[in-house]
């Protein structure tokens, strides 16, 4: 990649991160391009879709979350590990208002730039769930896809201004439903 292109790409990512933090993932791509003092076409060549832009922006976060899952797998009791990781996931999404809908769409769309990351995340959750289930502390009638859906639900809740104040309490309610104690 040419040096000037690399510079534009990096700059766009930085600006996009700021814009999304302010306005959520549905922020106008034109706005991002304007704020980066770059043509819209330039943004769209580097990141042909909104998903592609997000994938580049969230790659680090995704890696951190899967790493966190591995870490908890050895450092905590199965039930604590599961609940803490779910909490980490939900908290993380609050930084990217609106990302949940895109992730839900991506996990079954193999063409989406976010697909692989979402599948990896779901697998990490499934491992933690299986561990708790083997220990007998998580209900056995749910699977990794259910956990992914539950996280998505709670994350979506946090995205809705009117419902967000309930997010913490309802996380507890849902967590208590997953555990068998």
Partner DNA sequence: CATATATTCGGATCAGCGATCCACTTATAT
Partner DNA sequence: ATATAAGTGGATCGCTGATCCGAATATATG
**Residue ranges binding DNA (CB under 7 A):** 1-5, 8, 27-31, 37-42, 44-46, 48-50
Tokens (6 digits) for 103: 């992730």
Asked whether position 105 contacts a copy of itself by CB under 8 A, the answer is yes
Tokens (6 digits) for 100: 């949940």
Measured between alpha carbons, how far is 24 from 101 in angstroms, rounded to an integer?
A: 12
Q: Which does 29 bind (CB under 5 to 8 A by kind): DNA, a copy of itself, none?
A: DNA
Of 73 and 109, the one with the shorter C-beta distance to a copy of itself is 109
**Looking at 6-14, 19-27, 72-80, 103-111, which segment touches a copy of itself (CB under 8 A)?**
103-111
- The burial of 52, by beta-carbon neighbours within 10 Å (0-12 exposed, 13-18 middle, 19 or more buried), is given as middle
* Radius of gyration for the alpha carbons in the chain, expressed in angstroms and rounded: 18
Measured between alpha carbons, how far is 91 from 78 in angstroms, rounded to an integer?
A: 20
In the region spanning residues 123 to 152, those forming contacts with a copy of itself, defined by CB under 8 A, are 139, 141-142, 145-146, 148-150, 152
Give the Å distances, CA to CA, from 81 to 14, 38, 63, 68, 131. Answer: 32, 44, 17, 10, 9
Of 87 and 139, the one with the shorter C-beta distance to a copy of itself is 139
Asked whether position 176 contacts a copy of itself by CB under 8 A, the answer is yes
Residues that bind a copy of itself (CB under 8 A): 101, 104-105, 107-109, 139, 141-142, 145-146, 148-150, 152-154, 156-157, 160-163, 166, 169-170, 173-174, 176-178
């Amino acid at each position: 990649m040419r040096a000037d292109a690399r510079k534009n790409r990096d700059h766009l990512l930085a600006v996009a991160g700021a814009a999304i933090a302010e306005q959520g993932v549905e922020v106008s791509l034109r706005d991002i391009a304007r704020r980066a003092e770059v043509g819209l076409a330039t943004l769209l060549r580097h990141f042909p879709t909104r998903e592609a832009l997000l994938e580049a922006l969230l790659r680090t976060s995704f890696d951190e979350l899967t790493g966190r899952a591995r870490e908890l797998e050895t450092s905590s009791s199965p039930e604590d590990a599961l609940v803490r990781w779910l909490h980490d996931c939900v908290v993380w999404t609050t930084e990217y208002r609106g990302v949940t809908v895109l992730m839900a769409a991506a996990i079954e769309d193999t063409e989406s730039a976010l697909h692989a990351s979402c599948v990896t995340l779901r697998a990490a959750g499934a491992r933690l769930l299986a561990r708790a289930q083997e220990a007998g502390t998580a209900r056995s009638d749910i699977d990794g896809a259910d956990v992914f859906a539950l996280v998505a639900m709670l994350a979506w809740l946090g995205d809705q201004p009117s419902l967000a104040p309930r997010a913490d309490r309802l996380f507890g309610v849902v967590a208590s439903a997953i555990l068998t104690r």
